[in-house]
Amino acid sequence: MSRVAAIDCGTNSIRLLVADATTSFDGAVALRDVHREMRIVRLGRGVDATGVLDPEALERTRVALADYTAVLRRKGAEKVRMVATSATRDASNREDFFGMVRATLGVDAEVISGDEEAALSFVGAVGDLEPEDGPFVVVDVGGGSTELVVGALVDGEAKVHAAHSVDVGSVRLTERCLPGDPPSPADVEKAREVAAGILTDAFAAVPLDGVKTWVGVAGTITTLSGIAQDLPAYDPAAVHLSRLSRDDLHRVARDLLGMPHDEREKLGALHPGRVDVIGAGALIVDVLAEELHARAGIGELVVSEHDILDGIARSIA
């Protein structure tokens, strides 16, 4: 058994997992959570328009990372891996970010490709599912990008068949198409067209032949499950392996896009850092639901609390 620490720094949030990893005789890795934490730092705010990481966002990220570093050292993590995704891939001042990480954490952040990001999400997502429910399509709607990956569980191991990332996420789509509070019907329709157009590239690259189950991971989708269930506060146990129909997803997207900011703030399952962008995230998931039904006959979303963080931890076990 080894104790590992995984950090995922995305466009909207930075997350930490410290876990005990046990490898069985057949090579399968089991994780037991020691500490799991998420903070909204909005690192990618404005990057789509300016191409630059905002200094205030960098400082928010540094503060969170310093706290995470203290936690993982206190918990005795033997191996650490930090992955940075969409925002840092796109920023012209990305070296400011990397230098900050090196000075704070003591290891380098890795900028992984969208395809590797999708593959790590898949490995983390399907561990609690039954092999016969596959092949699976795993979707991660982030702040700056959306990843799709198709694969299966074979002899206890996750096998990825195809993966692709496209640059549409809750922060990007909000900044590009949804300036109003709430956005106008015309802006919502424009955002839907933009999302559908960009997602076409993902579906072209990820064949859905034989796929049986759609699995959604990460903060946008887990938050939508909490809202759909009308939870008074976010509850990971209630969210993990919950199921949402196309009607559920359409209803939640419609309601969120019609609410002003102060109404969204009152939703118990919604983290304050997602209030400004959850409408766009819900719209993207709603478009995905329609596309997956049309292309593969899938009518339901299975929500997983386990995602790229778990995949990163498994990769260093």
- Which segments of the chain does DSSP mark as H helices, in order? 47-50, 55-74, 86-90, 94-105, 114-125, 170-177, 185-205, 218-228, 236-239, 246-258, 261-264, 278-296, 308-315
pLDDT at 163 over 90: no
**Residue 316, domain member (yes or no):** no
Mean model confidence pLDDT for the chain: 90
pLDDT tens digits, residue range 185-238?
A: 999 999 999 999 999 988 988 989 899 999 999 889 999 999 999 999 999 999
Note every long-range contact of 159-164, with CB atoms under 8 Å and residues 24 or more positions apart, other chains counting: 160/118, 160/119, 160/122, 160/123, 161/135, 161/207, 162/205, 162/206, 162/207, 163/114, 163/115, 163/116, 163/118, 163/119, 163/122, 163/206, 164/114, 164/115, 164/118, 164/201, 164/202, 164/205, 164/206
Task: Extract the tokens encoding 59.
Answer: 């400082």
Phi, psi (5° rounding) for residue 300? -150, 145
Contacts of 294 (CB under 8 A, 6+ apart): none
| Residues 136 and 177 both lie in one domain | yes
For the chain, percent of residues with pLDDT exceeding 90: 59
| Residues 88 and 173 both lie in one domain | no
Residue 48 has what pLDDT? Answer: 72
**Residue 315, domain member (yes or no):** no
| Residues 102 and 132 both lie in one domain | no
Residue 78 has what pLDDT? Answer: 95
Residue 303 has what pLDDT? Answer: 96
| Residues 103 and 149 both lie in one domain | no
**Residue 36, domain member (yes or no):** yes
**pLDDT (mean) for 238-245:** 95
Of 55, 88, 114, the last residue of a domain is 114
CA 78 to chain CA centroid, nearest Å: 25
Q: Which of 126-135, 149-158, 171-180, 234-243 has the highest mean pLDDT?
A: 234-243
Residue 86 has what pLDDT? Answer: 63
Specify the number of domains making up the chain. Answer: 2
**Residue 106, domain member (yes or no):** yes
Helix (H, G, I), strand (E, B) or coil at 260: coil
**Residue 258, domain member (yes or no):** yes
**What CATH number is associated with residue 282?**
3.30.420.150
pLDDT tens digits, residue range 107-121?
A: 999 988 766 777 787
For the chain, percent of residues with pLDDT exceeding 70: 97
| Residues 34 and 10 both lie in one domain | yes
Phi, psi (5° rounding) for residue 68? -60, -40
**Residue 26, domain member (yes or no):** yes
Alpha carbons 151 and 164: distance in angstroms, whole number: 12
| Residues 156 and 220 both lie in one domain | yes
Contact assessment for residue 47 and residue 144, using Cβ atoms and an 8 Å cutoff: yes
**pLDDT (mean) for 148-170:** 85
Q: How confident is the model at residue 122 (pLDDT cuts 50, 70, 90)?
A: confident
Residue 25 has what pLDDT? Answer: 59
pLDDT tens digits, residue range 50-104?
A: 888 889 999 999 999 999 999 999 999 999 999 987 667 778 888 899 999 999 9
Look up residue 20 and give its amino acid. D
Of 67, 93, 114, the last residue of a domain is 114
**Residue 153, domain member (yes or no):** yes
| Residues 235 and 99 both lie in one domain | no
| Residues 70 and 176 both lie in one domain | no
| Residues 109 and 150 both lie in one domain | no
**What CATH number is associated with residue 79?**
3.30.420.40
Domain limits for position 260 = 127-308
Q: How confident is the model at residue 27 (pLDDT cuts 50, 70, 90)?
A: low
| Residues 237 and 282 both lie in one domain | yes
Q: Which of 73-82, 110-119, 133-142, 300-309 has the highest mean pLDDT?
A: 73-82
| pTM of the predicted model as reported, rounded to 2 decimal places | 0.77
**Residue 157, domain member (yes or no):** yes
Of 114, 147, 165, the last residue of a domain is 114
| Residues 94 and 221 both lie in one domain | no
| Residues 133 and 223 both lie in one domain | yes
pLDDT at 156 over 70: no
Angle made by CA atoms 228, 231, 16, in degrees to the nearest 5:
95
